[in-house]
Structure 1
Amino acid sequence: MLPEPMLAEPVASPVLRPGWAAEPKWDGFRAGISLDSGRAVLRSRRGTSMAAAFPEVVAGADQLPDATALDGVM
């Protein structure tokens, strides 16, 4: 099961508080992938399966350790 994704939010200033980190928001598809018992699941942030659109990402998931979950933009 994938955790809920964090969403980008606009800020008034790019200055961060001590101990905080940020990254720019790029255009693309936001997705999460998890690997559990050798089965990869690739979903959009709204829960729609994206496996058919990105078979190379699903195929590459076999290189991940079991019980891994990743969140990113493609």
Structure 2
Amino acid sequence: MTDARQTERASIDPKLLELLACPLTKGSLKWDAARSELVSVRAGLAYPVREGVPVMLASEARPLEPEKARRG
């Protein structure tokens, strides 16, 4: 993995994170740097971020494990 890609996985622009919302619940999202995902606890879904671009489609989201969804 290149240095640029590692940096990309490590963070997301905070301003972008403020603007984005879960397309299903319209609620806020949390950044999971370890998995490069935007997490919607209310929807129980994690949206992937590919090459720095959030994929905000429910059909592309990964269901959260029940334990992670409860912890929020």
Query: Could you state the TM-score of these two structures normalised by the residue count of structure 2?
Result: 0.30
Higher relative contact order structure (alpha carbons within 8 Å, sequence separation ≥ 6): 1
More helix by share: 2
